Structures are given as structure tokens and as C-alpha cells.
Amino acid sequence: MKCPTCEVHIGWDWVEDECIEPNLAFECPHCDEQLRYKIDEGTYYGAQHQTVEVVDD
């Protein structure tokens, strides 16, 4: 996945190693922006589609 702010690739291996769950905020390891990823199941894009968004608080 790619950070929407710095556009640097964040590998799924890193997400799994850090035990980051869907819908929970985490910091981009490159720019420290607060991000969240979602998993949509059964979408037009296939069985699972992951999206990353910036968290606004």
C-alpha cells in the first residue's frame, strides 16, 4: 500500500510485523502521518480490496 501523504510504499509485511489491525490508526513509518487501512470484502475489485486513508481528528 502507498501512504497518501508521502507516497512511499508501506509493505504488508511491515503491517503484519507491527500487528496493525484494520480500522485502527497507525503512523506512517516514513512521514509519521496518522493513517488507517480498511478491508472491503466482496467488492468490484475482487474478494478483498484494501484502502489507506489519512486520519483527521
Q: What's the rounded Cα separation, in Å, for the pair 54 and 40? A: 17
Instruction: Convert the pLDDT of each residue in 4-53 to its tens digit.
Output: 999 999 988 998 899 999 889 999 999 999 999 888 887 676 677 777 88
Look at the pTM and tell me if it is higher than 0.75.
no
